[in-house]
Structure 1
Amino acid sequence: MASRAQQAWNTLNNRQQTYMTVLYDHDQAVEAARAQDAAGGYFDDAPASMWRRIDVVGPGSKLTSVQRALARHDVRDDGAGSTLQALQRHGLIEVHDETVETRRGKSRTVQVTLTRAGRAAVRAGTQEPGRRRPGELSEYAWERLVKLWRADPGTVRIWGYNTEAALVTRPKEPYAEGKLGEYRITEAGREHYRSRWARYAKLFPAVAAPDPDGGPEPWPVELQRTLDRMKGAIEVADRVQWAAHRRMEEAHRDAGRRPSSQEGAADAEWHALLLEQAEVRAALALAHREQATTDAVVAIRRYAHAVCAAYTASVAGSPAAEDLTTAVVTAADAGQDHAKVKQPPLCGLHRVDTAVQEVYGTLAGTRTRKRPLPKQMQPGPRSVWRDFTDPPEHDLAVRRLLELARTVASYVDGGALRRELHPPAADAPVGASPRSPIG
């Protein structure tokens, strides 16, 4: 039987679920930023009822970050809207609708606060990892403990009052020992790592923590290096394209100069030679730019096919082995001459499937935007810097393919998606080797 939170999520339509997902992302971003500040010793005693408020509609015509995120999902709502009111009736959010005075007169503002039931509904519907329990480290503290484990018997620098307290001062038996910021892991830290590794792997999939029993890495290091090299090839080709475009414009400028009427015959002959050389330079730079553009398109295709193959392997839970890297390279080689990419499979995570399938639908032409983006989000004119312009953009299909590659890579890089979809089994009970509550 579905939980109450899951039932609340299932009662929402697609538009309402998109709203809740966007609001939840903003809520968690603020919470994470505050936690990071606290770990660095910067505390803010503002109550949660204030800092959890999310600006949905601001004064004036400037779009809020929520409106921009909704527009990218092709969801638009002026003012408070019936969607927010419906979510408030479900008890998932609280709407704060106010009228404020601005320089141009009265203006309406709308702020939203997610309720506890609202956050639980989004976590249930999108399969977000649950919250950590008493005695468990924060994500940053766990990342430090992973570094201590990897560096053993070496030392690691620990930053932040809360992190140092979580690993050194609060536990009855410290997980790390040292001085002047340099610490090494203790036996209690090793035991906490071994007993809680499976739990943390599920709780914080973005942290690459090695198996304490020496099992294979779920995401081979060579695979990530291969993907990084393919991504780097795009950046190199773009830099070459920019440099060639700049040289071509400089040559065209030199070729367009007119000789002075007071120049003598020798000067005129010299000027004609310079113009001829400028035309040759312009033609050579144009050839270099076209070749760099071709190289960039090939690199984009290779990278897109590679990350999509890695994404499919992450969803399927393919074993971590050299064969996985070989399969990704093979997919890149086979796809370097093809713009079409096989549709990525559904992984079951709402936030991932929504982003990946939307951008793939745009590439394949199966998803069209109902309305154009707001004028505040429309791309601006080509930049001009000291009379130089940007090189021509790639074709629309290539730009969409690159957008797909970047979206997919944001989830597969480092093996985060694979660890989230296929976490190790937690053999040890949740309460194994309990400690005092850790921040």
Structure 2
Amino acid sequence: MASRAQAAWDALNERQKLYMTVLYDVDQAVEADRAQDAAAGYYDDTPASVWRWIDVVTPGSKLTTVQRRLAVHDVRDEGAGSTLQALQRYELIEVREEDVDGARGKAKQVSAKLTRSGRAAVRAGTKEPGRRRKGELSQYAWERLVRLWKADPRTVSIWGNNTLAALVERPDPPYAERDSPLGDYRITEAGREHYRTRWARYAVVYPEVAAPNPDKEAADPWPAELAKALESLKSAVTWAGRDEWAAHRRREAALKDTRVPRRADEVTEQSIQWHALLVSQAQARADLAEQHGAQAKAALESAIRAYAHAVLRAYTASVEHDLFDADLVAAVTAAADAGRGGAQIETPVTCCLPRVDRAVQTAHAEATGTRKRRRALPKQMLPSPGFHARSEPEPLPQEIAGLSNLASTVEAYITDGALRRELHPPANPEVVEAD
């Protein structure tokens, strides 16, 4: 039987689900920023009932974060919109409308806040990882414990009063101890025990944290050789792009030198010949830079193809959970070679995580030209007329630009094995619905 949260999600239409997902993403981004500030010692006692309000529509021409994210999915509403009102009736959000003074007089400002039921519905519907339970470490504290585990028997620093309390002051016995009164920290036996016994649970709650399996005989879901191979392919893209920019700048500088006029006092035959020589040399530099730019652009396109194919193959392996270590690295390397040779990009498999499938499928459709935008992006999201005022290299072909965006989208989910850990956790901890 479906949970109440799942039933609430299933009752929504696609437009309402998209609104809820966007609002949830913004809500969680604010919460993560506040948690990070608190871990670093910057506290803000503003209650959640205040900071959870999200601007949906504000006076003026500037789009809110919510409007920009909705526009990417061809969704736009004027004012509050019937969608927000419907979600409020379902008690998934609260809506607040205020008349404020704008540049052209009174204008309406619309804000929304997810209720507990709303956040639970999104987590149930999008298969977001469960929240931590009372007594479990925060993500930042878990990341520090992972660093302590990896460094053992060496020491690492621990920053933030909350993290220090979570690892040293609160546990009895503590999970970390100082090697000297003013030194860094090393993991204790209690810390090792907590890591070994709770690793599977944390792998579900914080799948994006690259925590090595304490069972040394178990296959690492994201082997170091794979991370190294993908980083090498990504670096090839970066360096080819830099080479293209360098060649472009050299060509622009050389062309500028070809247009330098003779000075008024350069009237002798020798001075005229000298000026002509300088101009011809500048033109030769421009021609050489143009050749280098074309070579760099070709290398950039090849590197993007290779990286996109490699990342997508790693994504497929993360979903299907069929390859490990050497076999996975070999498959990803072979996919990169095939992409460099001009092979067609494969269609991404579905992972049944709506937030991931939606982003990956959309990026793939745009890369292959099978997605047609029903409405143009708002003018506020288009480059301003002066954006291209400075000289830039010729833009990449639409297909290559699409592959670059696809690779970036997929990479965000698979890095350090996060997607594989989420889809195929090492154990099956009890699922607890968060507030």
TM-based fold match above 0.5: yes
Change over 3 Å in CA distance of 1:430–1:6 after alignment to 2: closer
Q: 1:295 corresponds to which residue?
A: 299
Aligned partner of 1:278 among 282, 285, 291 = 282
Task: After TM superposition, give the deviation of residue 14 of structure 1 in Å.
Answer: 0.8
Task: After TM superposition, give the deviation of residue 261 of structure 1 in Å.
Answer: 5.1
Q: 1:436 corresponds to which residue?
A: none
**Take 2:9 and 2:231, find their aligned partners in 1: how far apart are those partners?**
37
**Take 1:258 and 1:322, find their aligned partners in 2: how far apart are those partners?**
62
Aligned partner of 1:416 among 391, 415, 418 = 418
Aligned partner of 2:308 among 304, 308, 313 = 304
Which amino acid is the alignment partner of residue 163 of structure 1?
T
Q: 1:437 corresponds to which residue?
A: none
Q: 2:268 corresponds to which residue?
A: 264
- 5 Å-filtered alignment, 1:28-47, equals 28-47=28-47
Which amino acid is the alignment partner of residue 251 of structure 1?
A
Which amino acid is the alignment partner of residue 349 of structure 1?
L
Q: Does the 8 Å contact 2:237/2:300 carry over to 1?
A: yes
Helix, strand or coil for the counterpart of 1:210?
coil
Q: Does the 8 Å contact 2:175/2:190 carry over to 1?
A: yes
Helix, strand or coil for the counterpart of 2:357?
helix
Q: Percent identical across equivalent pairs?
A: 60
**Take 1:181 and 1:125, find their aligned partners in 2: how far apart are those partners?**
46
Helix, strand or coil for the counterpart of 2:165?
helix
**Take 2:152 and 2:336, find their aligned partners in 1: how far apart are those partners?**
37
Partner deviation per Cα, 1:103-150 (whole Å, 9 max, x = no partner): 431111011010000000000000011111111101110111111111
Q: 1:196 corresponds to which residue?
A: 198
Q: Does the 8 Å contact 2:226/2:325 carry over to 1?
A: no
Which amino acid is the alignment partner of residue 335 of structure 1?
G
**Take 1:180 and 1:103, find their aligned partners in 2: how far apart are those partners?**
56
**Take 1:27 and 1:77, find their aligned partners in 2: how far apart are those partners?**
20
Q: Does the 8 Å contact 1:218/1:319 carry over to 2?
A: no
- 5 Å-filtered alignment, 1:178-197, equals 178=178, 179-180=181-182, 182-197=184-199
Q: 2:250 corresponds to which residue?
A: 247
Instruction: Report how many aligned residue pairs link the two structures.
Output: 428
**Take 1:384 and 1:334, find their aligned partners in 2: how far apart are those partners?**
35
Q: 2:233 corresponds to which residue?
A: 230
Q: Does the 8 Å contact 2:60/2:103 carry over to 1?
A: no
Q: 1:134 corresponds to which residue?
A: 134
Check if 1:403 corresponds to 2:405.
yes
Task: After TM superposition, give the deviation of residue 339 of structure 1 in Å.
Answer: 6.4
Task: After TM superposition, give the deviation of residue 382 of structure 1 in Å.
Answer: 6.7
Helix, strand or coil for the counterpart of 1:100?
strand
**Quick check: 257-266 or 277-286, which moved more?**
257-266
**Take 2:258 and 2:225, find their aligned partners in 1: how far apart are those partners?**
49
**Take 1:333 and 1:150, find their aligned partners in 2: how far apart are those partners?**
33
**Take 1:115 and 1:190, find their aligned partners in 2: how far apart are those partners?**
38
Task: After TM superposition, give the deviation of residue 191 of structure 1 in Å.
Answer: 1.2
Change over 3 Å in CA distance of 1:84–1:98 after alignment to 2: same
Which amino acid is the alignment partner of residue 306 of structure 1?
A
Q: 1:167 corresponds to which residue?
A: 167
List gaps (5 residues or longer) in structure 1. 432-439
Q: 2:149 corresponds to which residue?
A: 149
**Take 2:30 and 2:209, find their aligned partners in 1: how far apart are those partners?**
20
Helix, strand or coil for the counterpart of 2:44?
coil
Q: Does the 8 Å contact 1:339/1:398 carry over to 2?
A: no
Partner deviation per Cα, 1:179-218 (whole Å, 9 max, x = no partner): 4361111111111111111000111011111111212311
